[in-house]
Each structure stands twice: as C-alpha cells, then as structure tokens.
Amino acid sequence: MIFVTGGAGYIGSHICVELLNAGYDVTVFDNFSNSSPEALVRVQQITGRNLQVIRGDCRDRDALITALQQSQTNAVIHFAGLKAVGESVSKPLNYYDHNVVGTLRLLEAMQVCHIRTIVFSSSATVYGDPVHLPITEDHPLSPTNPYGRSKWMIEEILRDVYRSDPSIRICILRYFNPVGAHDSGLIGEDPQGIPNNLVPFIAQVAVGRRERLNIWGNDYPTPDRTGVRDYIHVVDLAIGHLQALAVLKNIDHERNDQSFGCMTVNLGTGQGHSVLDVIHAYEKACGHSIPYQMAPRRSGDIAVCYADPQFAYKILGWKAQLSLEAMCRDSWRWQSRNPNGYQK
Ligand code: NAD
Ligand code: WQD
C-alpha cells in the first residue's frame, strides 16, 4: 500500500493514476485545501480501480498515525504542502507550518508505525539563481523565498533522519516546471484564483477565461529575451516517482548500499524553453492565437533554469519522454473539456 499525502492535488492525482495502473494499492491523505475530491473520482474512472481516501491534515500526527495504521502502508509519497512563491513571502509562517511542521509530523507518525520508505516532492527552487547550467544535484542550494526555504529545510531534515538511521530509504525529487495533464483529459491542473504559473495562465487565456497573458520581462539575456525554463510533462514526472519507489524497494542494506539510501534527484528534461516558445506551442495545440503583452520582470524571477537529468537516468533509469508539444496538447485537452476545472 502506498500512502500519498496531497494525492488529490495536481501532481498527486497523476501519480495516483500511474500507481493504480502499475498495480499498487493507494491511500490518499489530503485536507483538500487546494484540491477537489472530484479529482480522485476521475482517477478511479481513468484506472477502473478504487483507492482509499482519508480527509486529514499533515500537521495532525494522531490522524496520520491512525490513517497509516488503517491502510497498512509500506511506503509514503509526500506531496502535501503549499506551493505559491508570492504567497509564501506574505505568509511565511503558514508555509513553514504546512510544509515543515507537516513533514515533521509525518516523519514522526511513520516512525511510530515503523514505515521506513519516503519519496519527497522537492523543487528546483532550492537551487536559487543558477551559478552554472545545466543544474546538477550538487549545485549549491540557495533558495530565495520562504517556499523554497521550506523545501530546503525539509531536505535537511530528511538527510538528518537518514544519518540517524541509514536503514531508512529516502528519495528527494527536485522537480523543474511540471505542466500538462493526463491524456484522458479527465484530470489536470486546476488553480484556485489567478494562476501564478505560465501554462495554467495560458490555458485560461486560450479557453477565454482571461483576456491576455503578461510576459514578465523581455530583457533577459536569452535568445528571444524572455525567461527560459525546463518544462516537464506531469505524466513523465509521475513515472519518475514509480521508478524511485522501485529503486528504494531494491536497496540492499545487507550489502551496505548506503549511497542509495538517501537519494536526491532532479526531475527535468534537460531542455530549456522560453515563454515565447511555450506560447507558440500552445497556439499550435489550441488552434488560435494567444493574446499577450510585454510587462516588467516579476520580482524574484531568474533568467534561465534547466536540469542536468543524467543522474536521474543513472540512478533511476528514468528519462523524460514527452515533448513541449505533448505538454501543450494535453494541457489544452484538459482545459477545453473542463473550462472551469473540477467545478461543474
Ligand atoms: P497542489 O496544491 O495541487 O497539491 C498539494 C495537495 O496537498 C493539495 O491537494 C492540498 O489540498 C494538499 N495539502 C496542502 N496542505 C496540506 C496539509 N497540511 N495536509 C494535507 N493536505 C494538504 O500542488 P502540486 O502542484 O500537486 O504540488 C505537489 C507537491 O509538489 C508540493 O509539495 C509542491 O511544493 C511540489 N512541487 C510542485 C511544483 C509545481 O510547479 N506544481 C514544482 C516543484 C515542487
Ligand atoms: C515560468 C516562466 C515567468 C507567468 C515556479 C516556482 C517554482 C516551481 C515551479 C514549485 C517565467 C514567465 C509566468 C505569467 C510569464 N514551483 N511567466 N507570465 O517561476 O519558473 O517556477 O513554479 O516548486 O518553485 O517558482 O514558473 O510558471 O511561474 O514561470 O511571463 O503570467 O514564465 O516569468 O519566466 P517558475 P512559472
């Protein structure tokens, strides 16, 4: 049984599909603060399998202990947390509470229940402004906002837990820019309020919910002067988690295979795309133009960021397969069939 915190969210719902399709049993633990139970109904519709859903908050250790015991969990994938960079600057305590305290409570509950395997959602944001590209896992860590620092703190906590007990199996996955949706068009990203991220914003312009996109900055030192990122299809990302689980399961502690006991791995494609590249790919996917205007840089943004994905291939045998075209096509299929997200 795999216990998925935050499993109703954007990335979590996609991992649930891949887990169920691979034959795992799944329990989702989510407080639905940024998601809808409907996502999990759709996950079951896509896979034809049931999953167990428990409404609960990761800061509640007793609720976690009960849920872990009830579900007979073998491993945890921990997505639950808050993720809006701007909001983390105005509400830092809330971010440290949900993200850091939530993870502490989860680790305590896992200890009580003797569960020793965890995959954690970290972020490329822990690297801060890149000092070299592509970004390898040993790049210095220098997050520039409370959200990023919460991820960095959790990583340090996990490394300390591992040092205290090297028989624990931990995989820290640093995602670059997850976008796209499942190709069924039934699940996808459904941000509350005004989207912060590029692709969900473009999707809402494409479907007519918003008038035009602001391109934050056209004076970057990049080929077309707009920001460059490593966009990765959410289904590729989900498959990376399955690979991580498989590798953690096969670690042989008898052989003292300790270098693999706490892995930190980038999940990206290794390819950078500019804001204009994404707009053009989306226009192709939806068949009409996306109105946009140039606007000043967004505070805290960096010019270029893309992963070195070689370690992921070496250690997990994983490589992203899906192109920017597929990301936009699948995002558009989801958005056009569900113009208001999960809301009917
Ligand atoms: P999301 O907001 O869609 O999903 C997070 C889920 O966690 C939601 O269902 C929410 O209701 C739940 N949740 C939040 N706080 C909780 C709590 N205290 N207890 C229980 N449930 C709680 O976000 P996502 O995009 O699916 O991201 C999943 C994880 O991946 C997050 O940890 C995020 O920081 C990380 N991440 C996301 C991105 C991205 O661009 N989407 C990039 C890097 C890392
Ligand atoms: C991408 C590019 C913007 C919106 C954030 C978090 C990061 C991670 C992923 C969680 C940039 C430009 C965007 C818009 C625009 N999340 N843009 N107009 O900033 O790379 O990363 O999400 O861990 O931590 O910081 O992603 O999608 O917001 O921006 O021009 O309306 O699109 O300037 O160049 P970002 P993004």
CATH code for the domain in which residue 287 is found: 3.40.50.720
Please choose from 298, 299, 304 the residue to mutate so as to test ligand 2's pocket, defined by most ligand atoms within 8 A of CB.
298
CA–centroid distance, residue 198 to ligand 2 (Å): 6
Residues 173/240, Cβ–Cβ less than 8 Å: yes
Please choose from 13, 15, 29, 33 the residue to mutate so as to test ligand 1's pocket, defined by most ligand atoms within 8 A of CB.
33
Q: What is the Cα–Cα distance from 336 to 344, expressed in whole angstroms?
A: 13
Max Cα separation, the chain?
Answer: 60
pLDDT per residue rounded down to tens, the chain (344 residues): 999 999 999 999 999 999 999 999 999 999 999 999 999 999 999 999 999 999 999 999 999 999 999 999 999 999 999 999 999 999 999 999 999 999 999 999 999 999 999 999 999 999 999 999 999 999 999 999 999 999 999 999 999 999 999 989 999 999 999 999 999 999 999 999 999 999 999 999 999 999 999 999 999 999 999 999 999 999 999 999 999 999 999 886 655 555 678 999 999 999 999 999 999 999 999 999 999 999 999 999 999 999 999 999 999 999 999 999 999 999 999 999 999 999 86
Give yes or no: 147 in active site: yes
What value, to the nearest 5°, has the Cα angle with vertex 167 and ends 161 and 168? 45
The predicted structure's pLDDT at residue 250: 87
- pTM > 0.95: yes
The DSSP letter of residue 215 is E
CA–centroid distance, residue 141 to ligand 2 (Å): 19
Ligand with smallest separation from the Cα of 101: 1
In three-state secondary structure terms, 78 is strand
- Kindly name the residue from 10, 24, 96, 147 that is annotated as catalytic: 147
Please choose from 57, 121, 122, 174 the residue to mutate so as to test ligand 1's pocket, defined by most ligand atoms within 8 A of CB.
121
CA–centroid distance, residue 235 to ligand 2 (Å): 19
Ligand with smallest separation from the Cα of 304: 2
pLDDT for 211-221, tens place per residue?
999 999 999 99
Ligand with smallest separation from the Cα of 97: 1
| Alpha helices (runs of H) in the chain, residue ranges in sequence order | 10-21, 37-47, 61-71, 85-90, 92-95, 102-112, 146-164, 198-206, 234-249, 275-286, 310-316, 324-337
**Domain-embedded: residue 328:** yes
Number of domains in the chain: 1
Ligand with smallest separation from the Cα of 126: 2
φ/ψ bin of 193: left (φ > 0), alpha (ψ from -120 to 50), beta (otherwise): left
Q: What is the Cα–Cα distance from 127 to 144, expressed in whole angstroms?
A: 9
**Domain-embedded: residue 241:** yes
Shortest-distance Cα residue to atom 19 of ligand 2: 301
Q: How far apart are the first and last CA of the chain?
A: 32
Shortest-distance Cα residue to atom 19 of ligand 1: 57
The predicted structure's pLDDT at residue 253: 61
**Domain-embedded: residue 344:** no
Q: Is 177 in the pocket of ligand 2 (CB under 6 A)?
A: yes
Cross-strand pairs, 135: 307
**Domain-embedded: residue 106:** yes
**Domain-embedded: residue 14:** yes
Helix (H) or strand (E) holding 265: strand 262-267
R_g of the chain computed on alpha carbons:
19
The sign one gets for the Cα dihedral 30, 57, 109, 66 is negative
**Domain-embedded: residue 343:** no
Shortest-distance Cα residue to atom 30 of ligand 2: 215
Residues 34/82, Cβ–Cβ less than 8 Å: yes
**Domain-embedded: residue 342:** no
Cross-strand pairs, 76: 3, 118
Q: What is the Cα–Cα distance from 30 to 77, expressed in whole angstroms?
A: 12
- Write b or e for each residue in 240-253: b if 16 or more Cβ atoms lie within 10 A of its Cβ, otherwise e: bbbbbbebbeebee
The predicted structure's pLDDT at residue 179: 98
Q: Is 13 in the pocket of ligand 1 (CB under 6 A)?
A: no
CA–centroid distance, residue 79 to ligand 2 (Å): 19
Name the residue range of residue 190's domain: 2-337
